Structure 1
Amino acid sequence: MTSLTVRRATAVAALTLTATATLTACTGTSGAGSRQSDAQIAAACPSSSIATTIGIDGTGSFQSAKAKAENLRIISGYVRRTAICGGHLRVFGFASSTGGTVPLFEGDLHADAPTDNAKLRKAGKLADQTLQTITDQYDPALAGLAGNGSDILGMLALLQQGNTQHPDHTPVDLLLTDGLTNIGADPTTVTTPAAATALADAQRVPDLTGAEVSIVGIGREASGEIPSAVIENVTVFWQRICENTHAASCQISTEGK
């Protein structure tokens, strides 16, 4: 790994879990959202269902209590949107290999009700139940990851595979990572934004046409502060990578919305 990252090697039996969300009757408003904010999400839903895929970097450089809390906060918004708009949700942890990911959740999220208000209430409850499952699986799943370093470029290929499995859905892809990859291209080694762009252009990337792509957590390393110039170059690298996938939109940031 680079000098900016912390080595972590774990060899734990792989966790296999595929969870399908089920919705029970509920009353009241979800504690994680307000009726007004949920209505705003519903009003902005695409015409089709959405397929949300979330990958969480499980390497030591990105793992801390603070990082976990921030990751779950960001994931909560994606889970809520998927439940309100209806669709499929997959959440997994990753490290050094596309073949060594670990699942936290996978299932369809749909809330049917006779009125819009009742549907929002049920969707809120479904989102809360789903987020609790993800929270419960977070630590044991990431502890099951093996290997050193992050294959972030490889995870983009997994996102493409997931998107093709739901061709009638709007793809929504999120990677939670500090972006300090040391498998394949390493953007921390370049010294200027122009060099970061050139390095990105030299990489082979998958086709994510039509997807809403976000890479969040750039430079948010568990071990301490990273120089602002390094964060700038890493951000430029991943912005260019995302643009080269032909995604419908790209959000590359340190902190999520």
Structure 2
Amino acid sequence: MRKSRNDRRTKSLSPIIVFVGCIALILYLGSANLVGGIATEDSATDASIPQEQIKENLKDRLEKAAKDNQPLQLKRAWVGTLDSIANHTLTIETREGPRLASVSAETTFVRMPKRETIKLADLELGSYTVAMGHLNGNQVLAALRIIVEKEVPPPADRLPHFIKILKFDMKKDLLTGELPTQETLTALLTKDTILTTAEGGAVKKASTDDLVEGRRAVAIVKTESAKGQSPTLVNIHLLAPQGGEESLQEEPEASTPSERPRELPDTSPSPTE
């Protein structure tokens, strides 16, 4: 009796078991097809890119990385006298000592004052030379342009100086000022010296009475002078007093009229005076 009941239960469960098995089999086959389709698509995508294009892209990336990592090239110029030429390398004697400049097929050579193009073989030792280019890690200038001139250009006959007035000798017409280097400059005023000052944003004519101690000025000095004579002042431009002060000169007493600015003599004093 009990056995017959078990047989009936088994027979009733058999369709359910078969149905579940079929569902499981369908799901398994579907997932397998999906994975296979994805793998096939990836393979097709990789195969669609030519190997040459992959290599070219890799080459471009490497070149870009190398270019980005190049050291910064500094622009420099050596100015001086050409001392020697050896193995496409120039030795230029500058104020700071000898400097090296290498030349190549990209270097252009120009001879002044006619601006004529020349070659490396045309360079002459002792010529005034300006080498311009990029400085490498060995402190050798890779020259892109070489300018040469047979004679050294004459120095400028007028030089500007920023000074602080120390004193003005009215008898000898000598102005003494202090340079930013703490050195002193003594120069001669003549009838041709131009004196100006800055007032209210405008440039006005000044006089020797304005050459007071402590006043700051820009003095333009003529470098060429007779032997034993002080340099000559071409122009003195007095700057506005600092701190809003009207003047560093003491005010005269009210009962004493101020003296008129003294006119400079028509002739310069002799060197022996």
Instruction: Give the TM-score normalised by the residue count of structure 1.
Output: 0.19
Which has the larger strand fraction? 2
Which has the larger helix fraction? 1
Instruction: Give the TM-score normalised by the residue count of structure 2.
Output: 0.18
Higher relative contact order (CA 8 A, sep 6+): 1
